[in-house]
Chain A
Amino acid sequence: MSILGNRVQRREDPKFLTTGGVYGDDLKIEGALWATFVRSTMAHARLTSLDVTEARNRPGVVAIYTGEDVDLPPVPAGLPGVPDVMARPVLAKGVVRFVGEAVAVVLTEERYQGEDAAESVFVDYEPLPAVVDPVSALTGDVLLFPEHGSNVAVPMNEPQAEDFFDGCEVVVRHRLINQRVAPCPLEVRSGAAMWEGDRVIQYASNQAPHGAKAAIAGLYGLEADRVRVIAPDVGGGFGAKIGLYVEDLILPWLAKAAGRPVHWTETRSESMLALGHGRAQVQDVAIGGSRDGKVEAYRLEVVQDAGAYPSLGSFLPALTRLMTSGTYDIPKVEFSAASMVTNTTPTVAYRGAGRPEATAAIERAMDLFAAEIGMDPAEVRKRNVVANDKFPFTTPTGTVYDIGDYGGAIDLALQASDYQALRAEQATRRSSGDTTQIGIGVSSYVEITNGAGPPGEYAKVEILPGGKARVYTGTSPHGQGHETAWTMLASEQLGIPMEDIEFVANDTDLVPEGGGTMGSRSLQSGGLAVHEASIALVDKAAKLAAELLEANADDVVLDKVGGRFHVAGTPAVGRSWAELAEAAGDDGDALVVAHSSSPAGPTFPFGAHVAVVEVDTDTGRVKLTRLVAVDDAGTIVNPLLAEGQRHGGLAQGAAQALMEEVRYDDDGNPVTSNLADYAMISATELPSFELVAMATPTPINALGAKGIGESGTIGSTPAVQSAVVDALAHLGVRHIDMPATPERVWRAVAAAQSTAAE
């Protein structure tokens, strides 16, 4: 019987539950100095002077460095089209461009001393006007990089056809704000660096150690083999820890300068300013079609807030563009975008990265269109989804969807939520004039996974003396459960019990290459590589067994129950893995397969969500009461893990719809810079989720697996937002921007009531 598809409990868990993981801050590094950064308190200013005299005399201070001291080059975005002048200095030099930008770093013997000393570094600023939102940045009145001549980090324009909506009976336009949010991994950033001879050893709380290694080697001009990066246990990343940050990148320099290892952990208050933010798009949607519910043309124009220094955030519109038309078969689609620099924290990838933004836009547009023609929003969706016989389906923006049953997913979600009964209940509440109204939001989504960067991934599977095995992977698990899933995949092929399979990841000295964990890629690239490597290893072992059994290799089979090779039909005579390992002896390559997978391309998980909310029309308070999710990620290796990914995603989507927003005042001062002010969602604002299974295996890879890490977020955000609007639709409310805070909802009600009274 196959182990795949079973709810196998995580083998990672006992450690986390009994001693806790070993995260960056937990590392015990002999002789390490502690690094504390001094950060800009101004959004945009000239740095006129930095006085470190008093700080230098504080107890425990070993050294203080400013931007003038550090001879590292600025760190470029590394993305196509981003101008070089927007590269980020490791420590600010001359100008600061956002609150939280590092301007100096203090090295002390102990952590507590660092905070004391950093407080007594005095920085003089000459304030410059700040530009805080990306639409204002378009005017160029305030320039972050005057030598560039504009605030455009990445232009992306497509011709706007003037007759685009000709022939549409109905055209609806709206500006939508996909607000800036903070990823909030529970573990903030932490790391350490030390030199061993001419090699740098770096620990980083990071999702892609091999990318980190390349970044360090590049910045320091080192051969790759002179850099080792280790990601210890990582307390969540959500996209924000894909790349290294300047605070990580400076650590080897500091370790060299001080001649000692350097250890660093930011505080949460620092993290809220200096870890990248997500989303941050202003979207203008226009949707046109016929009164019988057929959408004929859809246009999405995006202004992306890249923050002060372009990073992955400036690249998000490229991903948004891929998914512009969502699950719908729309004849005409246009997309344009510009990524703008502003005096705010740089934006990066955050769970979904560009695709939730695309889905939010098209789903809100569908609701606006449905409201305009007076049709049920679920019905409008069903009339426009890509038909099942059209796959592989090429969208007008050139994306090729692998396989789908978008209408089927909607039907499942409607059934599971008992949609008709919900509508009946809503009608009753409306007619009674109850101050607690209910709203129902429906979303249909498809997203691209494993869509950025090379689709393949490295794995190595080897047999150890005694017949146990070891799996190496280039993915970088930080909560996803790869150790459990990958050893399941190997066990399935090798016939070796999971508990006899060791797992190695997150160390560039132990794993030669890797793409890391991001973009819902891991199973379909890294899991696939383990699966394929295990099959190849069985083939290789069968040949060795054939020699020993003096049989034809083609006749040798692996009995997976006992982990034993024998000639088909004569199970009594065989060789176990242990015996093969012994026979292989010193031939290190005999029972090892290193393999890089090469899936045919990205995959496109899809689904449909139904959210139900109660809205108190007197106060504007929203209570999310149900969230029903159909998520089709193809073949599921371990439902326990897949459901966990969905749960987390659903919560983050609901959080964006209802609670969370990074905010700045007009001068660029952050006002949500800790977890008391930033409303990171808690257990009390969420219901238990209702998950519905659906599995349409993809033909793209041998596992039939698609990504699952981001689906929950992508589907739930617009479903929850729509539900809030839907609760108030009878009052004339058509749209409420996220997050649907009580005040915002109350204002929408008040505005609708005053319009109705006129």
Chain B
Amino acid sequence: MIPAAFEYQRPSSLDEAVRLLADSGDDAKLLAGGHSLLPLMKLRLAAPSMLIDIGRLRDLSYISDAGDTVTIGALTRHHEVETSALLKAQVPLLAHATSQVGDPQVRHRGTIGGSIAHGDPASDLPAVCLALRATFTVVGPNGSRQIPADDFFRGFLETALSADEILTEISVPKVPDAGWSFQKFNRRAQDWAIVGVAAVHNGSTGVGLVNMASVPVRAAAVEDAIAAGSSAAEAATHASDGLDPPADLNASQEYRRHLAEVLVRRALQEAGAP
């Protein structure tokens, strides 16, 4: 299967990319690693008239120590994130969860920014960013702005990015001493999570859920319960509070709710919650 025909542009700078995006209307799509977009295009579930290939903008590929945070260029490939010594030391949850994305070939091409900007609820990294309280920097014709992960994911494959904006950086607070856990429950190692849980615990607790709603979500009720002094097991019973998880080939809603509870409990316990 092959994509429908499109026009291809490869800007040589971020400015040029922003300009191209602004000029080319709603039907243009940014191409980073291409591992979210190209599969959809091959199945002809997406047929953009133009691809703006930003994959070569190497100045958007970095992992930097920024004091209290680590900043990651949006075009940093998964493989670089999973093997980064800085991230392994300062944000091990992110490095580990990234090592669980797709398969090695996918991780050689796919980028952190592409994965987040796609906003897929079944994707691992949005949930991790939610748990970590990450902040995203986006750039558009009117300059840049910062969007907290909590405000970023709006609907199914829909984010706070405007059509003319580009995600450029992911900023994650350092949590070198925090307990953490990433529970990915899938059929085959290469598959999307049926349910996934990202948890970080160091005084405050962050819990993000994979594939438990039409958007990547934070398990706010669980976080609140832990804050109010509940045990991991008690808090986990709130894992799917207020959520309407999908039902599909691999799991009914009922089973997803059950899995979420079990995996949240295990994640909290592994992260060191009482």
- For residue B24, CB closer than 8 A to chain A, the reply is no
Chain A nearest Cβ from B260, distance in angstroms: 11
Given contacts A267-B1, A746-B258, contact A741 B188 (CB under 8 A): no
Contacts of B187 in A (CB 8 A): 659, 679, 741-742
- For residue B250, CB closer than 8 A to chain A, the reply is yes
Tell me whether B249 and A663 are in contact (CB under 8 A): yes
Given contacts A112-B2, A116-B4, contact A618 B262 (CB under 8 A): yes
Given contacts A681-B188, A682-B188, A682-B189, contact A269 B1 (CB under 8 A): yes
- For residue B108, CB closer than 8 A to chain A, the reply is no
Tell me whether B185 and A619 are in contact (CB under 8 A): yes
Chain B nearest Cβ from A264, distance in angstroms: 15
Tell me whether A619 and B259 are in contact (CB under 8 A): yes
B residues near A, CB below 8 A?
1-2, 4-5, 43-44, 185, 187-191, 194, 249-252, 255, 258-259, 262-263
Contacts of A663 in B (CB 8 A): 249
A67–B262 CA distance with the chains assembled, in angstroms: 54
Tell me whether B190 and A682 are in contact (CB under 8 A): yes
- For residue A582, CB closer than 8 A to chain B, the reply is no
7 A-B interface contacts by CB (under 8 A):
A267-B1, A619-B263, A682-B189, A685-B189, A742-B259, A743-B252, A747-B255
A681–B191 CA distance with the chains assembled, in angstroms: 11
Given contacts A619-B185, A682-B190, contact A671 B249 (CB under 8 A): yes
A619–B2 CA distance with the chains assembled, in angstroms: 38
- Name the CB-closest residue of B to A616: B262
Tell me whether A746 and B255 are in contact (CB under 8 A): yes
- For residue A502, CB closer than 8 A to chain B, the reply is no
Chain B nearest Cβ from A621, distance in angstroms: 7
Q: How many A-B contacts at CB < 8 Å in the complex?
A: 52
Contact of A679 among B1, B5, B188 (CB under 8 A): B188
A residues near B, CB below 8 A?
111-112, 115-116, 119, 267, 269, 618-619, 621, 659, 663, 671-672, 674, 676-677, 679, 681-682, 684-685, 741-743, 746-747
Contacts of B250 in A (CB 8 A): 741, 743
Contacts of A115 in B (CB 8 A): 1-2
Contacts of B188 in A (CB 8 A): 659, 679, 681-682, 684-685
Contacts of A116 in B (CB 8 A): 4-5
A683–B255 CA distance with the chains assembled, in angstroms: 26
A514–B15 CA distance with the chains assembled, in angstroms: 67
A269–B43 CA distance with the chains assembled, in angstroms: 9
Given contacts A267-B1, A746-B258, contact A621 B185 (CB under 8 A): yes
Contacts of B252 in A (CB 8 A): 743
Contacts of A672 in B (CB 8 A): 249
Contacts of A112 in B (CB 8 A): 2
A322–B204 CA distance with the chains assembled, in angstroms: 66
Tell me whether A684 and B189 are in contact (CB under 8 A): yes
Contacts of B185 in A (CB 8 A): 619, 621, 742
- Name the CB-closest residue of B to A660: B187
Chain B nearest Cβ from A738, distance in angstroms: 14
- Name the CB-closest residue of A to B189: A684
Chain B nearest Cβ from A524, distance in angstroms: 36
- Name the CB-closest residue of A to B190: A682
Tell me whether B249 and A743 are in contact (CB under 8 A): no
Tell me whether A677 and B249 are in contact (CB under 8 A): yes
Tell me whether A679 and B255 are in contact (CB under 8 A): no
Contacts of A619 in B (CB 8 A): 185, 259, 262-263
A643–B122 CA distance with the chains assembled, in angstroms: 39
Contacts of B4 in A (CB 8 A): 116, 119
- Name the CB-closest residue of A to B187: A679
Chain A nearest Cβ from B32, distance in angstroms: 20
User: Knowing that A116-B4, A116-B5, A269-B43 are A-B contacts, what are 16 other residue pairs whose CB atoms are under 8 Å apart, sorted by A's residue number?
Assistant: A115-B2, A267-B1, A269-B1, A618-B262, A621-B185, A659-B187, A671-B249, A677-B249, A679-B188, A679-B191, A681-B188, A684-B189, A685-B189, A741-B250, A742-B187, A742-B255
